[in-house]
Structures are given as structure tokens and as C-alpha cells.
């Protein structure tokens, strides 16, 4: 097939998809997941892949029928009509994506400062994160092909780098005679903790949804969006399993929890020493920066669609590239005021709420139009609730503030949409 001028190729799409997925998810969340799941945190990442894989069915079916830059926004609009429900759940997705960008940004700062022992700095971590967002926004302003080219190059670097690091760690564990799970405590799995940890793991895969926003920019969108989603999920699953088993073999769950926000760097130190930390930091920097590039590209297109649907505000007309500027600005605010744990939890709550709405919309309103089998979205809803309920219970017990803030954000979004719809109705009537 001859490439369409200015359009993103399948390889470029996969690069952008994995660029969003292979970033903060694996670098920042391993320690947090281990805090919930204990020794079984690699299994939590596998369960997260299963949940994401089943969920992806609805997105691939819809994209094969109606690919667009709006992606999820158009799906929800088709399912629920142009009203409060569609607008609110689309904004849940948008906010969760912006929050994910701040997760990438703060992870960039955390790992970059790790060699200097400043990874816990309350000033330097968010400052470097803000600078990373600004740099990624500037690259996006320069055009699609530059974003695609950089995404492809960095995707190769981080996939190969992480894979080699993980495999070397596994080989080292076996060669030492200690075995792959020598650091395990031997405790039986805590099912509630395992399921709760799976919620955060879903964040490491949810970047596949940004691929649905490429409808106007990708070659042969009706086929390639679905292909890109499947390939990206498969690549990330293999990579995540390699790295989590390697971390388990190196420092165990206890070591991952202690290191928390920089578990991969801590896991590289016992086998590779300071060189291991340096290599891991370099890969993390590439991964998070490329993730920001890809995420800003996709999320700004979602905001543009919301502007077209008159569900989001605009800046003065003379300001160019408004979706990108607004998205980057919101990500900067989240980076400056939220820590990694709060960011991850808020993103998980909002994303899963949106995903449940998507799956229900497919079952009730879209399954005939997109020729979808109802068992997949129904199973997704059951899986989402089975992990979200334990996660909510544990977060209420340990971090009630984040739960309250998330509920406040969700309420503000819904109230805002009610107001927007009433104003629009009055304008149309007059």
C-alpha cells in the first residue's frame, strides 16, 4: 500500500501507542502495585493485561466502523447522544489522560534525580516534570511527522533497552543460583490486595485508548487502528512480564515497596551496580519523554473534538493550537500539585468509570451498529467492578483524601456538563 502523504503509518501508530503505555506505568507503578499485591505483583500486571485486552474489543470494533480524531468522545456520543452522560464520561477520560501525563512528567523528574539522591525532592521533581511537558509540547507544535519519527525511534530504544535489562536481570538471577523468586516471602496471595493492585496495572495499559484518537491521521484507519491496539497491548504485556519478574528476582516485593517510585532503578543496582542505575535512568528518561510526546499528541486531539462538540471552553481565537496548549497547561498544574500516588489513584478511578460507561453503551446502543458480540463488553464490566471495589475499599482505608478529591473532580465535571447542556438548550431555543 502506498503511504498517504502526511498520514501516520501502522508502525508510527504502534510507536505512539506504546510510547504512551511504556512510560510511567512500568517505571513508577511497580512499587505501588507491590504495596497492594505483595510478592504477586507480576501476576497483577498479567491480570491488568487481561482486563485491558478484553476491554479493547469494544474500542477496536467501534474504530473499525467509525474512526475519527475524537475516538472515545465519538463513541460515547453515539452511545448516549450529545448530552450530559456522553460529555461527562468523555471528560473523565480526558482528565485521566491529563493526569497520566503528569504521572509521566513526575516519573521523568524522579528517575533523572535518582543518581544524585534527590528523587524525593518536593521542588526539583515537579520542576523537571514541568520542563518535560513544555519540551514535549514544543515538539508537538512542530508537526505530526516529527512526533511520529521521534516516537518510532524512542519506542525502539526503550523497548529494546527495557527488554535487555530485564533479560539480563533474569539471567543473572539464574546464574547466581538463587533462582527467579529467591526474594519472595513465601506468603500466600492476598486476593483483595492482588485485585486492588490490578487497578493500577490497568493504567500501564490504558494508553491503548489514545490510539483511537488517531482516526483522522492514520493510514487505512478502519483496519490499522485495531491492528495498532492489538500489537501495542501484546508488546507491552511481554515487556511488563519480563521486567516485573526481573524486579521480583532482584529485590522482591519488599524492595520494590521501599523504592516505590523508582523500583526499576533499585532493582538494577544489586546486579549491575551504579551502571545499572545509570542505564535504567537513561531508559526511563527516554520512555517518559516519548510518552509525553505521544500522549500530548493524542489527548490534544480529544480536546479539539470536545471543542467542536461545544463541551470544552476555548481561548481567544487569535491563540493557535489551543487544544495542545490547554492540555499541556492542565498537565503542568497536575504535575506541580499532585504526587505520584495521588496521580495514579485519581487516573485509575476516572478511567475505569469511563470504561464501564463505554462498555455499557456498546451493549445497550451500539452492538448492532458495530457488529459487536455482547459477551466481551459485559465481561469487561464485571472485571472492572471486581478490581475497582477492592481498590476503593483499600484507598478509603489508607488514602481517603485522594478518594474525596477524585469524587469532587467527578462531581465538578458532571455539574459543569449539566450547566453546559442547559446553556446550549437555551441558545438553540432562542
Give the residue, 389 or 274, on which the prediction is more confident. 389
Q: Tell whether the torsion through CA atoms of 65, 78, 346 and 252 is positive or negative.
A: negative
Percentage above 70 pLDDT, the chain: 90
8 in helix, strand or coil? strand
Across 40-67, average pLDDT: 91
Considering only CA atoms, which of 294, 279, 284 is closest in space to residue 262?
284
Q: How far, in Å, CA of 74 to CA of 95, rounded?
A: 16
Residue 401 has pLDDT above 80, yes or no: yes
Sign, CA dihedral 415-421-427-429, equals negative
Report the chain's C-alpha Rg in angstroms: 21
For residue 196, the model assigns a pLDDT of: 95
pLDDT in tens, 240-282: 998 898 888 888 888 888 877 677 777 777 767 777 788 888 8
Q: What is the grid cell recorded at 390? A: 477492592
Alpha helices (H) in 260-321, listed in sequence order = 263-308
Confirm if 365 and 374 have CB atoms less than 8 A apart: no
Nearest Cα residue to 367 out of 379, 380, 376: 376
Longest CA–CA separation in the chain, Å: 78
Single out the residue of 272, 85, 65 nearest to residue 172, CA to CA: 272
Cell 524512542: give the residue.
154
Question: How far is it, in rounded angstroms, from Cα 33 to Cα 260?
Answer: 9
pLDDT score, position 185: 63
Round to whole Å and give the CA distance between 388 and 132.
31
Question: Beta-carbon neighbour count of residue 43 at 10 Å?
Answer: 17
pTM of the model: 0.85
Q: Which residue has the cell 520542576?
A: 127
Residue 204's pLDDT is: 86
* pLDDT tops 90 at residue 10: no
The span from the CA of 292 to the CA of 299, in Å, is: 10
> In angstroms, rounded to a whole number, what is the distance separating the alpha carbons of residues 421 and 425?
6
Instruction: For residue 373, name the pLDDT band (cuts at 50, 70, 90).
Output: very high
Give tens-digit pLDDT for 120-175.
898 999 999 999 999 989 888 876 566 656 666 777 787 888 888 788 778 777 77
pLDDT band, residue 397 (cuts 50/70/90): very high
Amino acid at each position: 500500500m502506498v503511504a498517504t502523504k502526511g498520514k501516520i503509518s501502522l508502525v508510527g501508530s504502534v510507536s505512539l501507542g506504546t510510547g504512551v503505555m511504556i512510560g510511567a506505568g512500568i517505571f513508577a507503578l511497580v512499587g505501588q502495585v507491590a504495596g497492594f499485591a505483595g510478592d504477586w505483583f507480576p501476576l497483577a500486571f498479567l491480570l491488568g493485561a487481561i482486563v485491558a485486552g478484553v476491554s479493547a474489543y469494544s474500542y477496536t470494533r467501534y474504530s473499525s466502523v467509525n474512526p475519527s480524531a475524537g475516538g472515545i468522545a465519538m463513541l460515547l456520543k453515539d452511545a448516549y447522544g450529545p448530552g450530559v452522560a456522553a460529555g461527562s464520561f468523555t471528560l473523565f477520560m480526558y482528565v485521566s489522560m491529563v493526569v497520566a501525563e503528569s504521572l509521566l512528567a513526575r516519573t521523568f523528574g524522579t528517575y533523572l534525580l535518582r543518581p544524585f539522591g534527590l528523587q524525593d525532592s518536593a521542588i526539583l521533581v515537579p520542576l523537571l516534570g514541568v520542563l518535560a511537558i513544555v519540551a514535549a509540547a514544543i515538539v508537538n507544535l512542530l508537526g505530526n511527522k516529527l512526533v511520529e519519527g521521534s516516537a518510532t525511534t524512542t519506542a525502539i530504544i526503550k523497548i529494546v533497552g527495557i527488554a535487555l535489562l530485564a533479560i539480563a536481570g533474569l539471567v543473572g538471577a539464574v546464574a547466581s543460583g538463587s533462582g527467579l523468586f529467591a526474594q519472595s516471602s513465601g506468603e500466600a496471595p492476598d486476593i483483595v490486595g492482588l485485585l486492588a493492585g490490578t487497578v493500577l496495572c490497568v493504567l500501564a495499559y490504558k494508553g491503548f485508548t489514545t490510539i483511537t484518537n488517531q482516526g483522522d491521521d492514520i493510514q487505512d484507519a478502519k483496519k490499522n487502528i485495531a491492528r495498532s491496539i492489538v500489537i501495542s497491548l501484546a508488546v507491552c504485556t511481554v515487556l511488563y512480564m519480563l521486567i516485573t519478574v526481573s524486579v521480583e528476582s532482584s529485590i522482591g516485593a519488599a524492595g520494590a515497596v521501599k523504592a516505590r517510585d523508582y523500583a526499576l532503578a533499585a532493582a538494577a543496582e544489586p546486579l549491575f551496580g551504579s551502571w545499572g542505575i545509570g542505564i535504567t535512568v537513561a531508559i526511563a528518561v527516554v520512555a517518559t519523554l516519548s510518552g509525553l510526546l505521544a500522549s500530548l499528541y493524542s489527548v490534544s486531539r480529544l480536546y479539539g473534538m470536545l471543542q467542536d462538540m461545544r463541551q470544552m471552553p476555548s481561548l481567544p481565537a487569535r491563540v493557535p493550537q489551543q487544544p495542545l496548549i490547554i492540555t499541556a497547561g492542565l498537565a503542568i498544574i497536575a504535575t506541580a500539585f499532585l504526587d505520584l500516588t495521588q496521580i495514579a489513584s485519581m487516573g485509575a478511578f476516572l478511567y475505569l468509570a469511563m470504561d464501564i460507561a463505554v462498555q455499557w453503551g456498546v451493549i445497550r446502543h451500539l452492538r448492532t451498529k458495530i457488529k459487536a458480540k455482547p459477551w466481551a463488553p459485559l465481561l469487561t464490566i464485571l472485571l472492572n467492578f471486581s478490581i475497582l471495589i477492592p481498590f476503593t475499599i483499600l484507598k478509603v482505608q489508607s488514602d481517603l483524601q485522594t478518594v474525596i478529591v477524585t469524587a469532587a473532580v467527578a462531581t465538578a465535571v458532571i455539574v459543569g456538563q449539566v450547566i453546559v447542556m442547559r446553556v446550549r438548550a437555551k441558545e438553540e431555543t432562542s
